[in-house]
Structure 1
Amino acid sequence: MTITTCIFDAYGTLFDVGAAARNVALEPGQAQLAAVWGTLSTDWRTKQLEYSWLRAISGTYVPFWQVTQDALDWAMDNNGLHDNALRAKLLSVYKELPAFPEVPAMLKALKEKNVNIAILSNGSSDMLVNAVRSAGIGEYLDDVLSVEEVQIFKPHRLVYDMVWERFDVPQTEVLFASSNGWDAAGAAGYGFGTVWVNRDGAPQDRLWATPHRTLKDLSTIPDLV
């Protein structure tokens, strides 16, 4: 089946979520953060995802920006960082995460193939607007879809429904890429063609479905279209 629509997760897939703590740790006067930034970054991301799943299960949706703040608060506490100015700085930088190096060229190549290109993300709309603008990739995107519309987080099927509701294409014409194995599994179970972008060489999740392909980054996505 011909691929007509390429859908990308945002955080960790297009945007480098580790950059917030890493870049702030390089600034003058951040010796305490510099000593723990790697652990802090991992804790922050882990809790961000855990809190989104728990809120989906419990039916207690809040915007992803609130989830992101709650996760950072836990991560800072866990790493002995009690600094409101640092908290504000990390959140500010998180709003303007850089894209991974291969992303602009990959999206440009897809655009030249005349396929639909969109983001489908747990992220709040304002978060995504800022991230797309700061990464300079807006010209390549046909839409940015946020779960705010359905008020539940991935991997709920209502989130993946947003793709065909927006583009009116069958699931078999959609290629979905995510760096989150559970997200790729959710999309595969939904019926999308899926790519797991396994940047860290992690083992595959044992879930109800498996991604159709595994890549180390996004650079070869245009070859699949």
Structure 2
Amino acid sequence: MPITTCIFDAYGTLFDVAAAARSAASEPGRETFARHWPAIAEKWRLKQLQYTWLRAVMGEHVGFWQVTQDGLDWALEAEGLGGDADLRERLLQLYWELEAYPEVPTMLAALKEAGKDTAILSNGAPDMLDGAVKSAGIGALLDDVLSVESVGIFKPARVVYDLVGQRFGCAPEEVLFVSSNGWDACAAAGYGFNTVWVNRAGDPVDRLPAAPDRQLTDLSGIPDLARG
């Protein structure tokens, strides 16, 4: 069955989640933070994701902005910078202005030219996603931005992946689902989507019931895969 619909995770897939910490580290007066920023960026992202999974299991849903703040607070404290309120505020501000990876606009434009539906499916809250899409200037290249807030649970709950078929009226076999999160790509494969794991770091495949159909090191090859 041909691919009609291309669905993308947002954070880490279209948008560089390390950009906020990297940008702050380059600002004058943040020399101490500059020595810690790679570790903080990594720990921030890890805790942000862990809190989504834990809250889903516990049935204690909050918006993605809350787990983003909670993850940052943990990371800053872990690196001995928990008392820097100005740094915390600046990092959170920059998270609303994340950079898209450089290949994203061209890749999405190629999909639209080929007649594919394109959308984001993200744990992010609608206002966060709106800010990121506008900051990256890719709104015109997306048909929709789908958030887990409409179902009140984070990925990889199956009800989140249901949103794609509900919005676009497509079968799972018509969907190319793209994520930089290995666990997300595995879960989407188990759901029945055609899946691509954008494995920028060269990590091993997660030991889960299903595995991604393909791996890429960036998003530039997505239009060719969507054409079949």
Distance 1:39 1:153 in 2: 25
Partner of 1:73: 73
> In the aligned structure 1, how far is the partner of 2:99 from the partner of 2:141?
16
> Displacement, 1:21?
0.4
Give 1:42-191 correspondences, 5 Å limit. 42-81=42-81, 82-191=83-192
What amino acid does structure 2 have at the position aligned with 1:74? W
| 1:27-62 Cα deviation digits (max 9, x unpaired) | 000011101000000000000000000000000000
Counterpart residue identity of residue 32, structure 1: T
1:25 equivalent in structure 2: 25
In structure 2, the residue corresponding to 1:16 is in which secondary structure?
Answer: coil
The alignment's TM-score, normalised by the length of structure 2, stands at 0.98
1:155, distance to aligned residue in structure 2 (A): 0.3
Structure-2 separation of matches of 1:166 and 1:53: 24
- Measure the CA separation in 2 of the matches of 1:32 and 1:197: 32
Task: Give the C-alpha shift of residue 111 in structure 1.
Answer: 0.5
| Other-structure match for 2:5 | 5
**1:131, distance to aligned residue in structure 2 (A):** 0.1
The amino acid that maps onto 2:29 is G
Q: Identity over aligned residues, as a percent?
A: 64
Q: 1:76-97: per-residue Cα shift (whole Å, max 9, x none)?
A: 0000112111100000000110
Answering whether residue 220 of structure 2 is matched by residue 219 of structure 1, we say yes
CA distance in 2 between partners of 1:109 and 1:94 (Å): 27
User: Where does structure 1 differ by over 3 angstroms across 4 or more consecutive aligned residues?
Assistant: none
- CA drift of 1:138 comes to 0.3
Q: Which residue identity is paired with 1:220?
A: G
User: What 5-or-longer segments of structure 2 have no aligned partner?
Assistant: none
**1:72: Cα distance to partner?**
0.3
Shift of 1:224: 1.0
In structure 2, what is the Cα distance between the partners aligned to 1:208 and 1:32?
43
Q: Distance in 2 between matches of 1:27 and 1:162?
A: 40
Q: TM-score, normalised by structure 1?
A: 0.99
> Aligned partner of 1:196: which letter?
W
Is the partner of 2:124 in helix, strand or coil? coil
Aligned residue pairs total 225
Structure 2 distance, partners of 1:186, 1:95, is 27
Question: Residues of 2 paired with 1:130 and 1:190: CA distance?
Answer: 29
Aligned counterparts of 2:78 and 2:72: Cα–Cα separation in 1: 10
Aligned AA (2:73):
D
